Amino acid sequence: MENSKRTLIQCIFLTWIVFSIVACGNSEKNPEAVIYNPVLPGFYPDPSICRVGDDYYMVNSTFSYFPGVPIFHSRDLTNWKQIGHVLNRPSQIDLDGLGVSRGIFAPTIRYNKGTFFLITTLVGKNGNFFVTAQDPSGPWSDPVWLPEVDGIDPSIFFDDNDSCYIVNNGPAPNNEPLYEGHRAIWIQQFDLNANKLVGERKIIVDGGSDISQQPIWIEGPHIYKKEGSYFLCAAEGGTAENHSQVVFKSKSVWGPWQAFSGNPILTQSKLPVDRPHPITCTGHADLVKLPNGNWWAVFLGCQPYAPTVENHFNTGRETFMAPVDWSQGWPIIGEKDEALKRVYPRPMLNEYAPEGYKPLNGSFTVRDNFEKDFLSLTWSFLRVPTDNWYELKNGKLVIKCRPVPLTGSGNPSFIGRRQQHSLCSSTVSLNFQAVNQEEAAGLTIFQNENHFYGLLISKSDGQHVVRLVKREEVLAEKAISDEDVDGSIQLRITARCNSYDFDYRAITAEWVSVAANVDGTFLSTRTAGGFVGAYFGMFAFGDSGNQAAFEWFEYSGE
């Protein structure tokens, strides 16, 4: 308990520090002239970015969530607006049977002569593929599969002589790794007219920046061309605290590739563990050139609750940005291996403020009253919906109880949104009368199939209850009257860094605690494993065909 209290105090203190930094930035003459990190808080990992004229487009991994691959638009690199999803049709993607941390890995977005390309890997199914679109908001094509590409994290590079190449993380030479985590970067030419790979597949980086040091998990490669030289930028070290970004240089895409003597060009792994307001696990970067010749990088990073060796965080891997320094003839991201800044001066670009724009980072409160006839882009499903089990009707989101559990690998009656802050809450108002004690509906905080809590309306011995479950274990129950359940019940889950509170109330009553200070590290990536972050989700379970009517959902984060 003392450790839990200490961590909470550290979390609140560090939040105050970060708030103070942001407040100082806001005190400047032009409060919008800065970029605040993370630019996309919450589970937005593996960012990739491209520029088309004055427009910038960014995408992220989604693993087994659907729709897949959100796409964001900006003109100033500061304010981003989601404009759609790349994979939003069942014909494009099959996620059935996959664990939460399988599915869509590390997409790359590029533009060439009027066409957008998105290339990625469907891990656990058919492997690597790409889709295309003329409009980045969609529609995007059905996949073109690339069975010849063995591995993950493909990227596509368009050279200025109209040739095209695909690079990816693949197996070690002869598929004979010298050590655990030994991988290689492969390249092959791609024929755009025939839509197929041609010629030799070749390894251009074996192991990493220095194979004598046994570097692990060289991945997420991207090729850029600058002043007649090619630069290959890739992640190295795995996705935890030793994550880093390294770079290589060549006069030809085929090599030989020279590793930068100053590698890594981005990492937080060498910093003191007890540094204030830490950002950890930085890497998996993509670079973009601005019209004035400056470059910026997007990359993933994590925000632990407090500066401790355990590195617990529930918000997943988030999207950060930093300027790129080429003064040494090589790209250096941010401060290299110094502490990443929370605030950077915004590049000299025209401010982007599209109609209906709402900030995606900082403190905010959002509420969905389900007044439209379609779900907003915020919402996600676990895997692809297999039938019409939900509808937006009369200002409510009606979800059908189905016997598909959160513990399985199917498509449960779950609709969720990301936890984007360590200090936040989600509240729903719903109307639901359970038929039996196996039937339940309510609010969850979900990390993966084995790590989630549910605050659910159900029955016990014929009496309606609000039940708190940890996966399938009942932690607490509070009886509620039939009169209360005939109306609307509000359920609230509050995150306080390393702990969660679970409360309910009838529509005219005070909040009642079901449980407080429940272990939040159970939902952290350190404990749960995998590559995703936590989701707040509306959920219904049962086999009677009963329905839960959700009247609104509110998320508030600091």
Mean per-residue pLDDT, 534-556 = 97
76, 219, 368, 484: which one is catalytic? 219
Tell me the C-alpha distance between 75 and 354, whole Å: 10
Structure tokens at 435: 């038929």
Give the burial class of 472: count Cβ atoms within 10 A of its Cβ; 0-12 exposed, 13-18 middle, 19 or more buried.
Answer: exposed
Strand residues in 4-114 grouped as ranges (E): 34-36, 48-52, 55-59, 65-66, 68-74, 81-87, 103-112
Residues 408-442 pLDDT 10s: 999 999 999 999 999 999 999 999 999 999 999 99
Amino acid in the structure at residue 271: L
Mean per-residue pLDDT, 197-206 = 97
Phi/psi at 211 (5° precision): -65, -20
Tell me the C-alpha distance between 172 and 170, whole Å: 7
Contact call for residues 357 and 379 (beta carbons, < 8 A):
no
Structure tokens at 513: 């605690």
Mean per-residue pLDDT, 133-140 = 98
For the chain, give the mean pLDDT: 93
Residues 137-188 pLDDT 10s: 999 999 999 999 999 999 999 999 999 999 999 999 999 999 999 999 999 9
Given a cut of 90, is residue 338 above it in pLDDT?
A: no
Contact call for residues 427 and 507 (beta carbons, < 8 A):
no
Residues 467-497 pLDDT 10s: 999 999 999 999 998 888 888 999 999 999 9
What percent of the chain lies above the pLDDT cut of 90? 86
Give the burial class of 215: count Cβ atoms within 10 A of its Cβ; 0-12 exposed, 13-18 middle, 19 or more buried.
Answer: buried
For 216-241, give the DSSP string. Answer: ---EEEEEEEETTEEEEEEEES-SST
Rg for the chain, CA atoms, rounded: 24
Least confident segment among 273-277, 319-323, 512-516, 530-534: 273-277
Paired residues of 117 in beta bridges:
110, 132
**pLDDT band at 4; cut points 50, 70, 90:** low
For 91-149, give the DSSP string. Answer: GG---TT--TTSEEEEEEEEEETTEEEEEEEEETTTEEEEEEESSTTSPPPPPEE-TT-
Mean per-residue pLDDT, 376-383 = 97
46, 318, 368, 449: which one is catalytic? 46
**pLDDT band at 352; cut points 50, 70, 90:** confident
C-beta atoms surrounding 107 within 10 Å: 27
Residues 61-106 pLDDT 10s: 999 999 999 999 999 999 999 999 999 999 999 999 999 999 999 9
- Sorted by sequence, the CB contacts under 8 Å of residue 445 that are 6+ apart come out as 419, 426, 452, 453, 493, 495, 500, 523, 534, 535, 536, 537
Tell me the C-alpha distance between 508 and 520, whole Å: 30
Tell me the C-alpha distance between 49 and 291, whole Å: 15
DSSP state of 334: T
Contact call for residues 263 and 25 (beta carbons, < 8 A):
no
Tell me the C-alpha distance between 337 and 331, whole Å: 13
Structure tokens at 161: 């002589």
DSSP state of 175: G
Paired residues of 119 in beta bridges:
108, 130
Amino acid in the structure at residue 460: S
Tell me the C-alpha distance between 208 and 234, whole Å: 9
Helix (H, G, I), strand (E, B) or coil at 339: coil
HSE-CB of 171 using CA atoms within 13 angstroms: 8
For 274-304, give the DSSP string. Answer: T-SS--EEEEEEEEEE-TTS-EEEEEEEE--
In 3D space, the residue among 312, 304, 45, 48 whose CA is nearest the CA of residue 154 turns out to be 48
219 is catalytic: yes
Give the per-residue pLDDT at 354.
77
